[in-house]
Amino acid sequence: MTPAPPPTHNSRTVKIPEEVARQLERKLARTSFGSLDDFVSFILARLAESTSETPFSEEEERQLRDRLRSLGYID
């Protein structure tokens, strides 16, 4: 994985659950990214660049919705 270049534009803050951040930090340790922000930005940029209309399978989307619901992010 090649680290994303530092942002040259405005940025936003996104909150993620601490549990997710810890899991990503464990994965981050096995990469060349310099920070969790850079790692997450890279992942989200790849997801946004996806040419598929649905980047997740139906099952993955169901699991994601269930997880977000259990964390109180959606009803």
How many structural domains is the chain composed of? 1
Question: Is 9 within a domain?
Answer: no
List C-alpha distances in Å: 28 to 1, 23, 34, 46, 55.
Answer: 11, 9, 8, 16, 22
Q: What is the pLDDT of residues 14-64, one digit of tens each?
A: 898 999 999 999 999 999 999 999 999 998 888 888 776 767 788 888 888
Question: Is 56 within a domain?
Answer: yes
Question: Is 13 within a domain?
Answer: no
> Which residue is listed with tokens 């930090």?
25
Q: Where are the alpha helices (DSSP H) in 8-57?
A: 18-28, 36-49
- Tell me what pLDDT residue 23 has: 92
Question: Is 7 within a domain?
Answer: no
pTM for this one? 0.56
Question: Is 4 within a domain?
Answer: no
Question: Is 36 within a domain?
Answer: yes
Question: Is 38 within a domain?
Answer: yes
Half-sphere exposure of 37 (CA within 13 A, CB side): 7
Domain extent, residue 65, equals: 18-70
